[in-house]
Structure 1
Amino acid sequence: MASETDVAARELAAPRRKAAAKRNTSAKPRRRTRTPDQTREALLRAAIAEFAREGYGGARVDRISKAAKSNDRMLYYYFVSKEKLFHHVIEHCYAQLVASEEALDLDLTRPREALAALVAFNWQYYWENPELLSILASENLFKGRHVKNKIRDVFANAQFGLLERILNAGIDRRDFRPDCDRTFIYLSILSLTYFYRSNLYTLSNYMQIDLADQERRKAWLAHVQAMIEDLVRRRDDR
């Protein structure tokens, strides 16, 4: 049998054990520490959302930091200034666009279908990534000064390169005109896809039709694909 001393010791220890257990159960779980790359990525994604929603002039660094669950000090550590952060945002958006385009599985032995697929990709990408439209609208207010160096020399060349391979394949197969101008074709694709999406709401109200309607969108894509094919098709194939 336990002695009176043992019983007394257990009785004295019981409240301490209960208090310790209560502290353990009420303690908040420790937040997992992010790596520097994860913090930078969180800030960048928060910045994309902020610049897309508010434009460059209306975007605020403190809101970006808060949305990223970080702080202003870390934002300036990684990106130096609001304008440099905006430059990184544009670069990131172009990198995502080019990476998605390069992932297309295009059959260059069928250049007409490949060109139609490229048109469809551009059309769909703008619908799925509307933040790109808003950010580019802000960049145009800067007269494109951030779209230089790497963005121009790497990303633009990658997009031109893909289009040129498709056009060359079509010329070699005598499907396309030998005098196809890649600049005009590129601008035509962007104009016919980007403009519709970027002006969706004003045009819908102005023309009193719902341009977001699925059937209208499908019809417009088919129309654009036909127009682009007509631009490149050999004259003797009409």
Structure 2
Amino acid sequence: MTPLWFLGCICVHPRLWAQLSSTQTGDSMDVTTSSKTQFLQKMQMTSGWPSTRLSAAEIEAEVGRLQKACLLLRLRMGEELTKDPTDWMQEYRCLLTLEGLQANVGQCLQRLQKLRSEVVEQQLGPRPERRLPTASLPCGGGADPIWSPQLLLYSSTQELQTLAALRLRVCMLDQQIHLEKVLMAELLPLVSTQESLGPPWLALCRAVHSLLCEGGQRFLTILRDEPAY
């Protein structure tokens, strides 16, 4: 309840009371709005509300998953490169596997680029260096790796993606050369035993030339001149 003496002051000075009430109402509304905004921002950061940006913990967890994926890709690639195929079918399967690994590497690098953009947008400060277990760092080549931005020697993730793609391309070319050697050993004796007459022999030569010289991408066209009678 409002005291009687306070009501009396309001009746004696109505204009002053109206001015004071309007000033207090405007200030309280500004304070309430500011407090509400700060409260919602704090709740969004600490309570797990949906946000358009990833938190530092989520980025670190995603980096850990990418490192595990890198380990699996390196192990699988090592298995494919150490295989000793005995026929062209196994060589073909190795090439398909390497193409799939290349696609997976591209997806991982794209995800890494997105995480890097998130970090730049959030303007994260320098993080303290800390040592990570060897099992969670599959892509590192050193015996004692340290989580530190100074260890990244690439100017951009695009450069790293190009380097990884070129390495996989070299591996695929090595497998293709070995595959052509296997085909040569199997197909050339077959051609030499056939009679060098007639359309079947020409078709066989064209197929062998395409497989060995063009990698199966193009077929050589052979024109046969028939003698005029």
Do they superpose with TM above 0.5? Answer: no
The structure with the larger Rg is: 2
> Aligning the two structures, in what range does the TM-score lie when normalised by the shorter sequence?
under 0.3
TM-score relative to the length of structure 2: 0.27
TM-score relative to the length of structure 1: 0.26
| Structure having the larger proportion of residues in helix | 1
